[in-house]
Amino acid sequence: MENRKNKMSQTSKFTFELGLNLSTALRATEAFQARDRRIFDAEFDHTMLPKTWRILLLPGIRHLILGLLEMSGMGTPGMLFCRTRFIDDALADWLEARKQQVVCLGAGNDSRAYRIPNIEQTQYFEVDLPVPQMLKREHMHKFLGAKPAHVFYAPLDFNIQELGAELSKAGFRLENPTFFIMEGVTQYITEEAVEHIFRFAAQAPTGSRIAFTYIKREIIDGSVRSKVDQRIMKRVARRGMPWVFGIEGEYIEGWLNQRGFKLIDLSGAEDYRQRYLDPVGRQLNIYYGELMVLAEIP
């Protein structure tokens, strides 16, 4: 039994490490774009990638990878680059208002705690499963030498643990205005877990905000599912992280209102293209099934 447990632990560690490094490598390719053509600043992502993985960033290899992803028509790079920029901008606005508490839920390889200007003025809480958080902490310790004073970690399984309790252990104070980030997370956790997160976040003070992505419910339940949707869902399921939750896109405003939030911005593929790609002269496929939301406690 113990051998089986250890084997499962090693498998989980490998799966998480693979996912973290692949997404980091993909984001890091943006650092090689000319500055006037970049969608977001990826310099830090480039440097935080483990040395053994940096082969993916060599000129011929990165061009091949990006070319193959574009040919697939799934729109993964475009979606990832644009949603990163959206949240970067929303967080920068929050910092301009001199707000001082950020919670990144399902942080994964999120690098905003280390690269956003003036982010060190905040208390930045990273929440994630124990295995990927451990991997990230180990890497960041090697890369930075020490944990930045403004960064705090809260290991948590959204499906079985209470968010407020784990954040409190890390020093989070619910009475302070908070900016919550949940990028590429909701589709992987249960409806109960999503509801719990929003009930908790809704207790934050007036003006607190949440930026999150979600998949259209009709894709999750299969009532409307394209070949691209099917391919992506099969791919994530093979990695052991199937999509299980979605929200009806047309009803997001009412969905938010019922949970104590007011919709500020709703963006998808076409909005991304107009805001971020056209101004820098870039043409990328963008996956249409994921939407981006910015909401506030009114």
Residue keyed to tokens 């009709």: 218
**What is the rounded CA–CA span in Å between residue 193 and residue 210?**
16
With CA atoms as reference, report the closest residue to 93 among 274, 265, 217: 265
**What is the rounded CA–CA span in Å between residue 52 and residue 50?**
6
**What is the rounded CA–CA span in Å between residue 214 and residue 267?**
11
b (16+ CB within 10 A) / e for 237-269:
eeeeeebbbbbebeebeebbeebebeeeeebbb
Angle at 178 between CA 93 and CA 287, to 5 degrees: 65
DSSP-assigned beta bridge partners for residue 290: 215
Q: Contact, 82 vs 103, CB < 8 A?
A: no
Inter-CA distances, 105 with 4, 160, 279, Å = 30, 15, 30
Query: Residue 13: its pLDDT value, please?
Result: 62
Query: Residue 5: its pLDDT value, please?
Result: 37
Query: Residue 1: its pLDDT value, please?
Result: 41
Rounded to two decimals, what is the model's pTM? 0.92
- Residue 223 corresponds to which tokens in the numbers above? 């009532």
With CA atoms as reference, report the closest residue to 92 among 65, 121, 50: 121
**What is the rounded CA–CA span in Å between residue 72 and residue 241?**
21
Q: Where are the domains of the chain?
A: 72-296
> Where would I find the H helices in 51-111?
59-72, 76-96
115, with CB counted inside 10 A (0-12, 13-18, 19+), is: middle
**What is the rounded CA–CA span in Å between residue 219 and residue 246?**
8
Q: What does each of the 298 residues of the chain score in pLDDT, given as a tens digit? A: 434 334 334 445 666 666 677 888 899 999 999 999 999 988 888 777 878 888 889 999 999 989 998 888 889 999 999 999 999 999 999 998 877 899 999 998 899 999 999 999 999 999 999 888 888 888 888 888 888 999 999 999 988 889 999 999 999 999 999 999 999 999 999 999 999 999 999 999 999 999 999 999 999 999 999 999 999 999 889 888 899 999 987 799 999 999 999 999 999 999 999 999 999 999 999 999 999 999 999 9
Q: Is 42 helix (H, G, I), strand (E, B) or coil?
A: coil
What is the number of residues in the chain?
298
**What is the rounded CA–CA span in Å between residue 119 and residue 151?**
10
- The CATH topology of domain 72-296 is Rossmann fold (3.40.50)
